[in-house]
Structure 1
Amino acid sequence: MELHWSILFAMETIGTIAFASSGAMVAIEKNLDLLGVIVLGVTTAVGGGMLRDIIIGNIPPNLFVNPVYVFMALATVIILFLIIRFHRHFLFGRSRITYEKIMNIFDAVGLGAFTVVGIDTAVSSGYGEYHFLAAFLGVMTGVGGGILRDIMADQTPYILKKHVYASASIAGAVAYILLAGQISSDSAMIICSVLVVAIRLLATKYRWNLPTALGNIEKGDIVRDHESSL
């Protein structure tokens, strides 16, 4: 394909760093040991691609055949672990705020890149005409690692409750499906990735969230209401 792969590789690298960092930070905050931090960090970075490859029968998954992103994630996790180990104040104050702002931008770029990579994998594997599958693989590549991270960390997957995360990936994938037959696939994927990044950044800035059935009610309020009705 004619897509500028050097740019896409740069986006994937940024995303790998962001995803690995998010997984490692979850593990650090749960006070897991070094192995636990590595497992959560690396899984977050490459887990989505692994699930994608398993779905389409690409065995063994690409992370084992071409482990460049695994090594990137591993290096990121170890560096972050050492920083927190010897500079615990990094978890608090302005340092943490600055870190989260930078990682949010990286995360948005990574989500857009991985969504595009998932779609491109579907197309290059001969499934381009199966639009639902292509979109699903794009979304799974983008958010699958985060789902695995949260399951292993015993918490509700972040993508199901905060800042239009998976929805941004879905919107980009749908945009690709709508545009693929009208413009070149390269152009469609570029628009797809830009749309994902834009939605993610705007959702974070303006705190966009999808509505819930109970509105802003807290879990504790539900428990108290239930107990009072007994």
Structure 2
Amino acid sequence: MASAVDVVQQIGDTAGVFAFAVSGALLAVRKDFDVFGIAVLAAATALGGGIVRDLIIGRIPPDAFTDLDYLYVSLLAAALVALWRPPRETGRWYRRTRRLRLTRWLDIADAIGLGLFCVFGTRTAYEHGLGAPSAALLGLVTAVGGGVIRDLLAQRTPMILRHDTDLYALPALFGSVVTAILLHENWYRGWTALPAAAVAIVFRLLALRYHWRAPRARGSLPR
């Protein structure tokens, strides 16, 4: 029988896959991709970070190829986004409003996936024998990897590399470090995993709300 921690891990992984798939599908809609492109971008966003993590820790083939439930969840998210119909309104104001609305939902879905994946990615790496610092770094890779792949496929500079975007990697790193400390001190339980994810999610949402950004190099010129 699965332990409570494993159940929380499964639920968290599934919720993270769904959230990241929604963010990828919403970006595909913004880029005017067809339904196949929406499905591809959703799956790449949802599964990319976990695949990179699994390859690094030697889990071959990665979970995304052995447990197809994750793929089905990402395709379900893509289908829901593709079938969603906004009100049939026209005009420049409406198009601008709809774009802003899509961006807001994309950011929220991405923040949820980021927070969940940084925690459960760290735990997966730690359970495979990595030390706490290395596990935290792999938790970060799990959290941001799918977003990087999403942005590259959509022909955007990844958010973690851009100076004009609100803090992205730092909230994920913070959640990963908190999780690694909990694991190292043997304080990690099912009920402690969710607050750790919530901290990262709230951190990211606050960064979006108040436009917290990392400092640039001294002497950088405005663009």
TM exceeds 0.5?
yes
CA deviation digits over 1:84-119, x for unaligned, max 9? Answer: 699686x83555545544443333222111111111
Q: Is residue 120 from structure 1 mapped to residue 123 from structure 2 by the alignment? A: yes
Instruction: Report if the CA contact (8 A) 1:176-1:191 is conserved.
Output: no
User: Which region of structure 1 is more displaced relative to structure 2, 180-189 or 154-163?
Assistant: 180-189
Gaps of 5+ in 2: none
Identity of aligned residues (%): 34
Alignment match, 2:141: 140
Instruction: Give distance in 1, aligned partners of 2:45 and 2:211.
Output: 23
Gaps of 5+ in 1: 219-230
Instruction: Give distance in 2, aligned partners of 1:20 and 1:38.
Output: 9
Alignment match, 2:213: 209
Query: How far has the Cα of 1:66 moved from its partner?
Result: 0.9
Instruction: Give distance in 2, aligned partners of 1:36 and 1:88.
Output: 25
Query: How far has the Cα of 1:45 moved from its partner?
Result: 0.8
Instruction: Report if the CA contact (8 A) 2:132-2:183 is conserved.
Output: no
**Larger relative contact order (C-alpha < 8 A, sep ≥ 6)?**
2
Alignment match, 2:17: 16
Alignment match, 2:173: 170
Instruction: Report if the CA contact (8 A) 2:166-2:207 is conserved.
Output: yes
Instruction: Give the superposed CA RMSD.
Output: 2.9
Query: How far has the Cα of 1:177 moved from its partner?
Result: 3.2
Instruction: Give distance in 2, aligned partners of 1:196 and 1:102.
Output: 17
Query: How far has the Cα of 1:20 moved from its partner?
Result: 1.4
Alignment match, 1:3: 5
Instruction: Report if the CA contact (8 A) 2:17-2:46 is conserved.
Output: yes
Partner residue of 2:204 out of 200, 206, 222 = 200
Alignment match, 2:27: 26
What secondary structure sits across from 1:155 in the alignment? Answer: coil
**Quick one: structure 1 residues 47 and 3, their matched pair in 2 at CA, closer, same or farther if it must change by over 3 Å?**
same
Alignment match, 1:77: 78
**Displaced runs of 4 or more, over 6 A:** none
Higher helix share: 1
CA deviation digits over 1:133-181, x for unaligned, max 9? Answer: 2012211111111111122222210232322111111111122334444
Instruction: Give distance in 2, aligned partners of 1:94 and 1:153.
Output: 21
**Quick one: structure 1 residues 123 and 181, their matched pair in 2 at CA, closer, same or farther if it must change by over 3 Å?**
closer
Query: What is the identity, as a one-letter code, of the residue corresponding to 1:217?
Result: P
Q: Which has the larger radius of gyration?
A: 1
**Quick one: structure 1 residues 59 and 32, their matched pair in 2 at CA, closer, same or farther if it must change by over 3 Å?**
same
Instruction: Give distance in 2, aligned partners of 1:206 and 1:192.
Output: 21
Query: How far has the Cα of 1:51 moved from its partner?
Result: 0.7
